[in-house]
């Protein structure tokens, strides 16, 4: 699974013909625009879950699982510097 941060109006290209544009958001909501050919089926997960009544079929749907934050994975170790700063106070 790919996890990334996006800025407003940045987009993802999936294949050659599916474009997802991030329009911004607030308070835990994100607005996106999906530009895809008409033959590409795009369905919101909440809509699918509401339509399916059979618990077995519902269990077969792909689930998103949120991974806990691992800030240590994304922090870079500071390299020790060999630079020495010399002050010259003689004027």
Number of domains forming the structure of the chain: 1
Would you say residue 47 lies in a domain?
A: yes
> Quick one: pLDDT at residue 91?
57
Would you say residue 28 lies in a domain?
A: yes
Would you say residue 64 lies in a domain?
A: yes
Tell me the pLDDT tens digit for each residue of 15-45: 999 999 999 888 888 899 999 999 999 988 8
Would you say residue 85 lies in a domain?
A: no
Looking at the DSSP bridge assignments, the partners of residue 24 are 31
pTM score above 0.75: no
Tell me the pLDDT tens digit for each residue of 61-75: 877 766 666 666 666
> Quick one: pLDDT at residue 3?
76
pLDDT grade for 84, boundaries at 50, 70 and 90: low
Let me know if 21 is exposed, middle or buried by CB neighbors in 10 A (0-12, 13-18, 19+). Answer: middle
């Amino acid at each position: 699974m790919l996890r990334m941060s996006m800025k407003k109006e940045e987009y993802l290209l999936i294949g050659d013909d599916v474009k997802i544009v991030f329009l911004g958001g607030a308070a835990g909501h994100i607005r996106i625009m999906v530009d895809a050919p008409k033959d590409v089926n795009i369905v919101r997960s909440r809509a699918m879950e509401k339509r399916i009544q059979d618990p077995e079929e519902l269990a077969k749907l792909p689930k998103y699982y949120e991974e806990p934050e691992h800030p240590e994975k994304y922090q870079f170790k500071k390299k020790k510097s060999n630079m020495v700063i010399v002050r010259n106070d003689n004027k």
